[in-house]
Amino acid sequence: MDIELPDTISAETIQQAQPAVEALRALLADGTLSPGLTAESLGALLAVMEGVAEAATGDIADLSPSEAAERLRMARPSVMRLIARGELSSRKDGGHYVLSPRELRSFQTRLASIRREALGDLTAMADEFGF
């Protein structure tokens, strides 16, 4: 399939799309998807949108654990635990941990997959027990 993408996507366009992205995230979290719409397809669409938004902002700078925590919407100590357990790759620069944006995106993708699987399991259990 050939898809023609525009050469540039303005920050304004991405900002205008943000409410739709949040609505899609809410649908995915709720699990109330319309027929024909799967959690996998919705997750793929969100991943594309996040990739486009990130590419448009030119985010290539390394992140501190605090910045990574903000992007992951978790506390800094949680990020440090993920690093210590090897679940989130980092390196030391001048004695301080730094994370690459690419590693953070990879972790977010893995986390989203785990969450989708758990949601599917919960939905199956709810159906099984008639909730």
Beta bridge partners of 92: 97
Alpha carbon 106 to its chain centroid, in Å, reads 8
Q: Are 90 and 97 contacting, i.e. CB atoms less than 8 angstroms apart?
A: yes
Residue 44 is predicted with a pLDDT of 82
User: CA 28 to CA 37: how far, in whole Å?
Assistant: 10
- The pLDDT assigned to 85 comes to 95
As a CATH number, domain 60-131 is 1.10.1660.10
> 10 Å Cβ neighbour count for 65?
20
Domain ranges of the chain: 7-58, 60-131
pLDDT attached to residue 119:
93
pLDDT in tens, the chain (131 residues): 566 666 566 777 778 888 888 888 887 788 777 888 888 888 888 887 877 776 666 556 889 999 999 999 999 999 999 999 999 999 998 999 999 988 888 898 888 889 999 999 999 999 999 88
- What is the pLDDT, as a whole number, of residue 26? 83
